[in-house]
Amino acid sequence: MLSVFNLQNKVVVITGGTGVLGSELSRGLARAGAKVAVLGRDAARRDRVVAEIRQEGGEAIGVLADVLNRDDLLRARNEVLAHYGTVDILVNGAGGNSKQATTSPELPLFDLLEGELDWVVRLNFMGTLLPTQMFGEVLAEKKEGVILNISSMAALQPLTNVVGYSAAKAAVNNLTQWLAVHFNKHYSANIRVNAMAPGFFLTEQNRFLLTDERSGELTPRGRTILEHTPMGRFGEPSDLVGTAIWLVSDASRFVTGTVVPVDGGFSAFSGV
C-alpha cells in the first residue's frame, strides 16, 4: 500500500522553495525520493536548501527565478529540462503578504497604496499562474503530471486586515479548480491540480501580525488565532509535508480540483 506514496525519481519543481514553508516542502519531497528543483530569487538561501537536501542523501538543484518574470521562468524551465529531462510535479509555493498592504490602526483601508496591493495580488495569483503556464506546458505535452498550489486559510475564511492577500489566495483557489478542469478537458485525464490551504504558521510574511517584534510575545491577534484553533498551536512547516506527498503522489490519483485545509481545525471551529 505504501508504494502509492512513492515519489522515487519524480522531478519536482517548487517555486518559493527557499521560504520557510517552501524549503521544508523541498526537503520533505526530497526525503520521499523526488529530484527537486528549488526555485527562488535569493541565491544564498537557494544554495543552502540544496546543500541541506544533498547532505541528507537527496537530489536537488537550485535555480534562480522570479515567478513574475516570464524570461526568468523560461530560463528556469530550460535549466530544469537540461538537467533532469522532464518535469513531473509543479509545486507553486511562491507567495506572501506586505505590511503596507495590510490594514492596521496606523494604516486604514482608505490609505492603502494601490502599488502595494497590486504587488500582493500579482505575487500570489500571477505568481501561481505564470509558472503553471511555463511548467504546465511540459505536463500537457507528456499528458501526465501534478500541480500543487499553496493557498491559505485566508482564502476560505477572509481574515481581518489582510485584504489583498485574502482576495489573492481566494483567486488561487478558483484558479486551482479552473486548471483542474481545463487540463483534464483539453490535455489529459492524467493531469491533476489541487491546493493546500495552510492555517497559521509563523512565516516571514505574517510574523509581524502574530508576534510582537520586540518581545516575541503573541499579539492580541496571535492569541485570538490560537483560541480559535482547536489544536491550540501554530503549524510547524513539517506539518505540511505529509499532505503534500499525498496530493502529488498516486495515493491521490482520483483527487483533483480540491483545496485541502492543513489548519489544526481552525476552519471547523465557530468559536463557540
Q: Which three cell numbers stand for residue 65?
A: 527565478
Helix, strand or coil, per DSSP, at residue 16: coil
User: How far apart are the C-alpha atoms of 164 and 143, rounded to whole Å?
Assistant: 35
Residues 222/117, Cβ–Cβ less than 8 Å: no
Helix, strand or coil, per DSSP, at residue 29: helix
In degrees rounded to 5, what are phi and psi of residue 91?
-110, 115
In the sheet where 191-198 sits, what is the strand order? Answer: 59-64, 35-40, 11-15, 89-92, 145-150, 191-198, 259-262
Catalytic one of 84, 135, 165, 187: 165
Of residues 86, 92, 78, 88, the one with CA closest to residue 129: 92
Of residues 227, 223, 197, the one with CA closest to residue 210: 223
User: How far apart are the C-alpha atoms of 233 and 201, rounded to whole Å?
Assistant: 9
Residues 147/92, Cβ–Cβ less than 8 Å: yes
Positive or negative torsion for Cα 268, 198, 260, 167? positive
Can 165 be counted among the known catalytic residues? Answer: yes
Query: In terms of DSSP bridges, do strands 59-64 and 89-92 run parallel, antiparallel, or are they unpaired?
Result: unpaired
Residues 259/151, Cβ–Cβ less than 8 Å: yes
Catalytic residue IDs: 165
